[in-house]
Structure 1
Amino acid sequence: MLEIVFVAPCAAPVQVAWEYFSDYRNAVKYMHGMVSYTPTGSLEKGLGASFDGAMKIGPSTMNSTVETVTWEENSLAVYKSIQGVDLTTTYRFSKVDDEHSEVQVEMLFELPGGVAGRAMEKAIEPIVRANANNTRDNMTRVVGEYYASVRNPAQP
């Protein structure tokens, strides 16, 4: 198993960060390497919503279908793969103050056992960690930009 955990500080209230990250269309804007992320059914968010995603990890593209298995508004979202790469991603939202929040992201990759699985983990871990660091930085940036735009929309 490969576990990646990071915290993204956001210059926005927790409700705004939640709003941004719960919109599936934003995933390709912050998730480093994500090339597509689309709903597989009529639900676009919330418990039971599922998504097909494709992510570049090094020279390879990994495909997965994930389902939302936990959804607690402004607090917690958990996505579990139901096809493709065996992955569970957890987003925990917390208030820092009235204008700031943090999002803790935990990604658990279940890899094959044995020698092959250990070799795969050694090969992808540095790439996945680098992608996670870029994702953290992207999350911080895009939420701050989004909050600034909704607080002070550009005048036509």
Structure 2
Amino acid sequence: MGVVSHQVKVDAPRERVFEYVDGYQNVPEYLFGVKRFTPTTEQTQGLGSTFEVAIDVGPKTLKSVVKCTQYIPNELIELRAVEGFSANSTWKFADAEDGGTEMTVAFDFKLPGGIAGKLLGGLIGPFADQAVKHSEETIAKKFADHG
């Protein structure tokens, strides 16, 4: 299993940052490689909401279904894979000491065994790190540009 985690400060109130990250329609905008993030339930946010995900990782498109398994408004969003590629994400939000929001993002993923897993591992590790950094930069820039 691989884990990638980063923390970033966003110069915006925690409620606004959470609302943006929580909006499923925004996910392809800030999450690198995500081409589709589509609700599969009427519920489109919060505990129990479920989404189909398609992520382009180099020449390969990985598909997954993720479900929100933990949800605390303005504090925590956890998505767990329930089908397809096993990738989970946890987003934590807290007030920064000097104003703004401290956002912590963690992705963990499980690769298949054998040669396929080794080949995919060569793509996924660097991709996950790049995806987390891209998400942080995109979210921080959005609020720097739009307050």
Gaps of 5+ in 2: none
Q: Do the aligned partners of 1:5 and 1:105 also contact (CA within 8 Å) in 2?
A: yes
1:62, 1:85 within 8 Å by CA — same for their partners in 2? Answer: yes
Question: Does the CA contact (< 8 Å) of 2:107 and 2:128 recur in 1?
Answer: no
1:48 aligns with 2:63: no
Residue in 2 that maps onto 1:77:
77
Give the secondary-structure state (helix, strand or coil) at the position aligned to 2:144.
helix
Deviates more, 1:47-56 or 1:115-124: 115-124
Q: Does the Cα contact within 8 Å between 2:5 and 2:104 map onto a contact in 1?
A: yes
Paired with 2:132 and 2:123, the residues of 1 have a C-alpha distance of: 15
- Contact 1:13/1:98 (8 A) holds in 2: no
Q: Which residue of 2 aligns with 1:3?
A: 3
Looking at structure 2, the residues matched to 13 and 121 of structure 1 have their Cα atoms a distance apart, in angstroms, of: 37
TM superposition shift of 1:130? 2.1
Partners of 1:89 and 1:106 within 8 A in 2: yes
In structure 2, distance between residues paired with 1:81 and 1:56: 16
Gaps of 5+ in 1: 149-156
Where does 1:51-62 land on structure 2 (aligned, <5 Å)? 51-62=51-62
Q: Deviations over 1:36-70 (max 9, x none)?
A: 11110100101000011111111111111100000
> Could you tell me whether the CA contact under 8 Å between 2:105 and 2:132 is conserved in 1?
no
1:112 CA drift (Å): 2.2
Matches of 1:59 and 1:127, distance apart in 2:
12
> Taking every aligned residue pair, what percent have the same amino acid on both sides?
27
Say yes or no: does 1:103 pair with 2:103. yes
Counterpart CA distance in 2 for 1:94 and 1:105 is: 12
| Distance change in 2, residues 1:11/1:120 (3 Å) | same
CA RMSD of aligned residues (A): 1.7
The residue number in structure 2 matching 1:120 is 120
CA contact 2:57–2:123 (8 Å) conserved in 1: no
In the alignment, the residues of structure 1 paired with residue 98 and residue 133 of structure 2 have an alpha-carbon distance, to the nearest angstrom, of: 26
**Cα separation, partners in 2 of 1:85 and 1:45, compared to 1, 3 Å:** same
Letter in 2 for 1:68: C
Task: Name the aligned partner's letter for residue 100 of structure 2.
Answer: H
SS at match of 1:44: coil
Give secondary structure in 2 for the equivalent of 1:112: coil
**Partners of 1:127 and 1:31 in 2: how far apart?**
11
Deviation per residue, 1:93-146 (Å, 9 max, x gap): 010157410210110001124565344323431232223222221121124345
Larger CA Rg, structure 1 vs 2:
1
